A and B are shown apart, each in its own frame.
Chain A
């Protein structure tokens, strides 16, 4: 199972066969003007979505890092989306091609999933005007990177918990 497998479910607008469920008004199937978008989901997954007025079309999504094409996804249709696996803490771009012709470059930076190797110390304080001024270190001992591992075990937290049990 790839690391972003939990993201890959049906992502169409919900519908129901139950006529008594009110899902609200329908949203436009298509907007004027084509658009391609990239959203970072986590350090290992990007969500790319696009729509265009031209059809029929063949789409090609390329993940490019440091000038090297690492992954290619091909799809058909006038709109589409794709989950693109990526490595943590990576800068690169997703290139979108339609019928073999380049249409957009979407730059990205995936978040780190580990402490930085950079241990350079700089200190500062904020003055009355809100500007950062240099300051001296407060001394003390640095924690090793092994003590900085994430402790994100409290999964499922949300800032709006009061509605969770309703």
Chain B
């Protein structure tokens, strides 16, 4: 028996999942849903990069794992979106400078000055330090060893609800290919969209030389046979894929609306936004002649359970102190948890703490300060060792063989969020498109250059329709018309390309309408490297698919 040493420590792996759906509208100068990206760059991605820069500069060791999904990487490398972002950031600086002037000598002075200084720092980090290339910035920290970047399904598709083996495989193969393009190496780990897992996916993941995944807690604890150490250690599937389970205690302290850190009264209030308060003429760069909206500039603190117009001014220094206190508290709680778990299982536990990256900075403004404080204070807590999945596996390769259980991290733990009475209508169409893509990729042996372009774009349209974000938004009833439109639009675009390709097959005269194809390529140029052969049907036996079964009927 390879009994481990009884050193009284445990490991914590902090994992941030950074994802946004692919939203890009060259046809409109201002587009509301593009704000998701611009706000996340300013509030989350750049502050996290600046944090890593700062830790590296001060020689503070850190271990952080991030998934940067393929659509996010593609948007962060898109000249159109980056140009629009830079203009928006300049406009925010102008607005913040104006507000700093207006609020001089008032209770809001510190908040307005902080907003201006923050935007200027973001601009410096984005444009000067990283030359506008955030993906390269993340790649740098991965190459330096502090950051581990994992990939995700090509468009964050919900793999257990896809109809075909080839469709699921293509989401993984396109993702791995895209990772190589952006990071110059293969991804070792993957964040499955919505942490959604079902039987057979481990085989497809292993095919892409991906070693590990993250699962919801019961994806591990309900595995077969029962895992000896619960979710406090990864498990190993028969296909050779390690699965790390989410630790609920770590999540609760950050996510809980009642007891979570982000609800502290001293932190910045998300919902009181200058976009609703400032004179309209100052907001023109953000809203044009459209309705008011959040613009990402906020001057109030949470205060307590009071109306939005009764919120007190934000005091940045107080909030920063509180973030450091919360980091210390988090580490202290991990010490207690590790001791309690270790006393039970008798070996070193691993606590995996995954969160949406956008929680840190976008929703919880002080989140990046919290993470930075965590790394800076970690040396004071020798019982806690911050690690990454790769580092853990290098040191603990012996792992219990357990088949992971079907699961997701969505509400109720399975797929109800993405399959319910509001959004079940999408699957009939989605599955047809998926089956037709397999049909095209299998039928086309030697396409003409035009057919090759049409096949590539058909793959893009299918992948974009498969984003789990659309079904999620429909369930959450937020921007429902947009999500419905995106689903229908990509499926309709796919349908048009499919019929043109079927009609063209074997004929000298092409049925592909070149202007239409060019328009689609212009609107959704995602995955320049995409190889439509990823959908080809393979005759070798694949795994039995969990989650879906399908039969032709007369």
Task: Give residues in A with beta carbon < 8 Å to B.
Answer: 6-14, 16, 21-28, 31, 33-43, 45, 47, 49-54, 81, 96, 98, 103-109, 111-126, 130-132, 135-143, 145, 147-166
Contact = CB atoms under 8 A, between A and B. Distances in A.
A101 to B, nearest CB: 10
B437 to A, nearest CB: 14
B553 A104 contact: yes
A51 B428 contact: yes
A38 B421 contact: no
Interface string B1-21: 111100000000000010111
Interface stretch (B88-96, B106-114, B354-362, B522-530): B354-362
A96 B553 contact: yes
Given A41-B415, A132-B240, A147-B230, 6 more contacts: A9-B421, A106-B550, A132-B236, A137-B398, A157-B255, A159-B194
B412 A42 contact: yes
A47 B549 CA distance: 11
B402 to A, nearest CB: 9
B209 A121 contact: no
A123 B356 contact: no
A118 B226 contact: yes
Interface stretch (B168-176, B320-328, B470-478): B470-478
Nearest to A37: B550
Nearest to A126: B240
Interface stretch (B140-148, B156-164, B376-384, B452-460): B156-164
A145 to B, nearest CB: 7
Contacts, number: 335
B297 interface: no
Contacts of A96: 553
A122 to B, nearest CB: 4
Contacts of B468: 158-160
A22 B222 contact: no
Given A118-B225, A157-B410, A160-B156, A37 B420 contact: no
B240 A131 contact: yes
B432 interface: yes
A34 B552 CA distance: 6
Contacts of B217: 150-152
A157 B553 contact: no
Contact of B484 (A10, A23, A138, A158): A23
A130 B240 contact: yes
A140 B429 CA distance: 50
Interface stretch (B34-42, B55-63, B535-543): B34-42
Contact of A162 (B195, B358, B474, B552): B358
Contacts of A54: 554
Nearest to A129: B240
A120 B225 contact: yes
B427 to A, nearest CB: 6
A36 B398 contact: no
A44 to B, nearest CB: 9
B424 A11 contact: yes
Interface residues of B, number: 124
Given A25-B489, A125-B398, A150-B222, A43 B414 contact: yes
Q: Which of B3, B163, B221, B548 has the most CB of A within 10 A?
A: B221
B270 interface: yes
A14 B416 contact: no
A132 B403 CA distance: 13
Contacts of A103: 553-554
A28 B496 CA distance: 11
A109 B422 contact: no
B160 A40 contact: yes
Interface string B333-348: 0000000000011110
A150 B218 contact: yes
B495 interface: yes
B1 A160 contact: no
Q: Which of A23, A24, A96 has the most CB of B within 10 A?
A: A24
B401 A123 contact: yes
Contacts of A122: 225, 400-401
B469 interface: yes
B546 to A, nearest CB: 6
B222 A49 contact: no
A24 B1 contact: no
B311 interface: no
Given A148-B230, A152-B217, A22 B481 contact: yes
B366 to A, nearest CB: 17
Contact of A116 (B226, B396, B399, B416): B226
A132 B35 CA distance: 45
A152 B216 contact: yes
Contacts of A13: 425, 484
Given A40-B546, A136-B1, A158 B424 contact: no
A158 B472 contact: yes
Contacts of B4: 138-140
A50 B2 CA distance: 54
Given A31-B432, A40-B548, A163-B473, A158 B222 contact: no
B441 interface: no
B16 to A, nearest CB: 11
B199 A132 contact: no
Given A9-B422, A40-B547, A163 B347 contact: no
A116 B553 contact: no
Given A11-B424, A24-B487, A166-B36, A160 B397 contact: no
B469 A160 contact: yes
A130 B206 contact: yes
Contacts of A124: 236, 398-399, 401
Contacts of A37: 163, 427-428, 431, 548-551
A33 to B, nearest CB: 6
A142 B403 CA distance: 17
A154 B399 contact: no
Contacts of B256: 154
Contacts of A143: 228-230, 232, 344-345
B292 interface: no
A113 B529 CA distance: 41
B290 to A, nearest CB: 13
Contacts of B478: 163-166
